[in-house]
Amino acid sequence: MEGQELPYVLIDSIGGKHGVYEDHLEFLKKHFQLITMKEYLENKKFLSENIRAVYMWYHKPVINEGLLQSLPNLKVVASSGVGIDHLDLKLLSSYGVKVSNTPFAVSTDTADFGMALMLASSRRLVEGYQMAVSPNTEYSPADCLGAEVSGATLGIVGMGTIGYKVAERAKAFEMKILYHNRNQRNKEEESAVGAIYCKKIDDLLQQSDFVLLSVSLTPQTHKLIGKRELELMKPTATLINISRGLVVDQDALVEALQNKVIKAAALDVTHPEPLPRDHPLLNMKNVIITPHMASATKKTRRLMMENMTESIEAGLRGLPIPNEVLL
């Protein structure tokens, strides 16, 4: 937007828990006049008319009807990451606001992380580390045995971009790959990774040694994995969740792990995040939990930022928006 005043874009803050990364500022300030929520609230009368877009990092700033009513010239909301469950798309559409996300920027790192969780859980990596560094360890027990990944059956629930990349990686481990998805992929894509489509999720759950969740959170996937589904899984199976915490009924998961209905769980996502410090999942040896960090690499976070910038600029110019989220 050379030769023009830079458009005003609302952000939550700079640095800190939810703020824009400080090393992203130089790039962003070449494209936008960034306005923090604090600055906006202090000068609402002037800024309300001028803000044209919202740059939503870590789901902040929160967008509700009150904010939309106060921003009459808002055109675009660019949200980081792939999930959109934090956005009311119908509300935004009713105000004529377009929405974008960054699904392709996060897919490679998230797939890598899904494999990392599978390997760490199956080979008891966290337990082994704790044992190795404990001041009480006098010997390494010979019966600390893990489960094989190579040659095992992986069931992928949600074969979108991330799920397919997981399948590509799993193929290198000579895994048998099953998948359940709203739509079956074409034969060439299935053949490339050796994936077999399961129209019914029950068939996948009953056969898999590892069940990996890679779906968007929607009303249809809310608590997709509950007591019934967990009881269909093998008692030797591991559940891996790299999607959203609410895709799993956590109370049912706790019960299943305690009663050895399934063997283990590896979770990058929970509900809430973080879990209360007294939550039973935090004290189970057969559970690995990470703090929603599957896409957390410098390269990916910068790519997300660049994608969001492109989407905002396109939307303000009236051009097709890359990665636009449609109702």
Residues assigned a catalytic role = 244, 273, 292
Closest by CA position to 101, among listed 85, 86, 88, 83: 83
Closest by CA position to 169, among listed 245, 125, 210, 114: 114
Q: What residues contact residue 309 under an 8 Å CB cut-off, 6+ apart?
A: 27, 28, 31, 32, 78
Contact 76, 319 (CB under 8 A): no
AA letter at 54: V
**Terminal Cα-to-Cα distance of the chain (whole angstroms):** 29
H or E, element range at 180: strand 176-180
What is the sign, positive or negative, of the torsion defined by CA atoms of 56, 60, 63, 68?
Answer: negative
- DSSP codes, 127-157: HHHHHHH-TT--S--TT------TT-EEEEE
Provide the pairing of β-strand 153-157 with 324-325. unpaired
Phi-psi sector, 119: left (phi>0), alpha (psi -120 to 50), beta = alpha
**Which residue blocks in the chain are alpha helix, DSSP H?**
25-29, 37-42, 44-50, 65-70, 89-94, 103-122, 125-133, 161-172, 187-193, 201-207, 227-232, 250-258, 298-317
Q: How far apart are CA 50 and CA 24, in angstroms?
A: 23
What is the sign, positive or negative, of the torsion defined by CA atoms of 277, 278, 279, 280?
Answer: positive
